[in-house]
Amino acid sequence: MGAAIDYLRQNGLSARANGKRIIVSPASKMSTEVRQYVQSHRLELLAELAANNLEIIEALTTPPPESRSWLDSVADLLGCSAEYLLTYRFIDRDDLWEQHTTDPRFAARLIGCNPFWTTPPPATPANSAE
């Protein structure tokens, strides 16, 4: 948290943004000093609240770490890279959230049945001599 939000918390208050307005609660604990602080630090409070919201959104939308090993397993079963599956949207972020606890063979079988699925050619080294 930032300094402005910490100040409110030290005074037993919480804040949320409503557009460009700051809603502080409980209103019964708002002293004249706190009211003046909120008015003079409104932009700082808005910035801190927005940053906190972004952190929450990122935490809620970032797939769990164990999803990477699941993705790698699916890619191995299909003979491609994890990046290939993500780039060509055979697997998306929602799949990483929802499917990472299932057996990778189920996902590989489903992807293999997709009419757009083709196993990519193996990568060739850039400096290979022929």
CB atoms within 10 A of CB 78: 21
- At 93-110, the pLDDT tens digits run 888 988 989 999 999 999
Give residue 111's pLDDT band: very low, low, confident or very high (50, 70, 90). Answer: very high
Give the C-alpha separation, 117 to 40, whole Å.
Answer: 59
**Distances in Å between the alpha carbon of 3 and those of 8, 15, 34, 41, 44?**
9, 13, 14, 10, 9
**Distances in Å between the alpha carbon of 112 and those of 13, 70, 74, 122?**
55, 16, 11, 17
pLDDT of 85 over the 80 cut: yes
Q: Which residue has the higher pLDDT, 106 or 127?
A: 106
> What's the confidence (pLDDT) of residue 17?
86
Residue spans of the domains in the chain: they are 3-61, 66-113
The distance from CA 120 to its chain's CA centroid, rounded to whole angstroms, is: 29
